[in-house]
A and B are shown apart, each in its own frame.
Chain A
Amino acid sequence: MNNVLIPSPLRSYTGNRLQVAAVGATVAEILGDLDRRYPGIRFRMIDEQDAIRPHIKIFVNREQVRRLDAPVAGTDEVIIITAISGG
């Protein structure tokens, strides 16, 4: 079970919870499990070609990952951040 930090623009999916749990050995599996628990959340972050959307950043612990097949260990924390820019 991994701890996942949800940014404020996506907390409407998690009942306004900052920290949620998800299971998976890769970022893709974590996001898939997250979407099962909170339907619709994945597509707001990941496009239909499985690319991370431009203003979304995903970190495993403190390291940014750019591919969904990046591995996630059992105790790793997954942090999702949305860039806040524009007017």
Chain B
Amino acid sequence: MATKRSAPAPATLVLIGTRKGLFLLAGDTGRKAWRLSPPNFLGHIVQHAVLDPRDRRTLLVAARAGHLGPTVFRSTDRGRTWKEASRPPAFPKAPAGETGLVVAHVFWLTPGHAAEPGVWYAGTSPQGLFRSADGGETWHGIDGFNANPMRTAWVGGLQEAPPDGATLHSINVDPRDPQHLYIGMSAGGVFESTDGGTRWQPVNKGIAADFLPDPDAAYGHDVHCLRISPVDPDVLYHQNHCGIYRMKRPGDRWTRIGEKMPKSVGDIGFPMVLHPRDPQTAWVFPMDGTTVWPRTSPGGKPAVYGTRNGGASWQKLAQGLPAKDAWWTVKRQAMCADARDPVGLYFGTTSGEVWASTDEGKRWRCIARHLPHIYSVEAADA
């Protein structure tokens, strides 16, 4: 345990969203010493917290308390002071006599394109897509998705919703084109827009959906985490309820690269993490998706798996992790990479531990423990 009270000026800031609040973990330049903040928004469920890479000061937090409605908190000084969004994400009021959608919680936050400072996207439960043009102060629904006549068909109903609620997540903005967006949904699948969100097309060919009668369904799939490569945005990876996939655009069919994972481990999990500079390198955190879906580390033996060749082969990366009797897992927002060289990897567990590797996954050590159930982990250059 390297957490201590007085660390040098932070070089890496790890944002930890938990079931009981937000914690900031500041690392030194060597990523060796870490200083944990007191809780922010203690008692709030923090699904996601993201620092704006464009200014390195604006920090948005998707939060709700158990008995209060959902909101977004904003800081423009990296977490020293906070204000609440004056217009949090909310669906439009339905006409009299009709039933309207209600945002249960804001689930995902994505900063917009580098050329659009102040633009952010948010995904909600149930599946809704929202945009802010003022740094998260006011949010407006993207009607091209939220009011799309096909939305209900795409996302299904309560029967299709996961236990913690259906979500829109994995909002990816093409670094070459701010109008080019990808989203992932549980349930719904992968969708793409090339006009900033006005029109959407499903991108689900080749994805298994064991829970759908049609093996070639166009939509309705259960995406757990979708990422586009920052260095080659035509390369997409995603962790699905039914396997690990990769696609190279302009192709439109996913390849199940998880079939190369060890059969005893399988290719089910939540997160998907990509290398910031190598489109062939990615990491996953498998969980037990057998029988009734325990969603724990398979066999109680947690391990990261990494590929250096686009999923043609996978290596187990577990040095330093518990060898046995560790029945936690890692949620879809709770694993990430920094941009350093070598790349640092971080994940937070459902048992409240944060683990880090500063050598791209070879060795791991626990850098924070005794936190609440962790929902999200994001690393930022401080």
Contact = CB atoms under 8 A, between A and B. Distances in A.
Interface residues of B, number: 21
B103 interface: yes
Contact of A40 (B65, B71, B100, B103): B71
**Which label, helix, strand, loop or mixed, suits the secondary structure of the A interface?**
loop
Nearest to A55: B67
B86 to A, nearest CB: 6
Contacts of B94: 49
Say whether chain B's binding surface is mostly helix, strand, loop, or mixed.
Answer: loop
Interface string B42-69: 0100000000000000000000011111
Interface string A64-87: 000000000000000000111110
Contacts of A85: 66-67
A53 B66 contact: no
Contacts of B91: 48-49
B84 A83 contact: no
Interface string A11-45: 00000000000000000000000000001100111
A82 B86 contact: no
A45 B69 CA distance: 6
Contacts of A82: 67-68
B100 A44 contact: no
B230 to A, nearest CB: 35
B66 A48 contact: no
B92 interface: yes
A83 B93 contact: no
Contact of A9 (B65, B99, B101, B103): B65
B88 interface: yes
B66 A55 contact: yes
Nearest to B67: A55
B102 interface: yes
B102 A48 contact: yes
A1 interface: no
Nearest to A54: B67
Nearest to B43: A9
A78 B67 CA distance: 19
Given A40-B84, A43-B88, A49 B93 contact: yes
A48 B100 contact: yes
A44 B66 contact: no
Interface string B112-133: 0000000000000000000000
A39 B137 CA distance: 13
B90 interface: yes
A86 B85 CA distance: 26
A4 interface: no
Given A39-B84, A48-B103, A82-B68, 10 more contacts: A40-B84, A40-B86, A40-B88, A44-B65, A47-B69, A48-B90, A48-B102, A53-B68, A55-B66, A83-B67
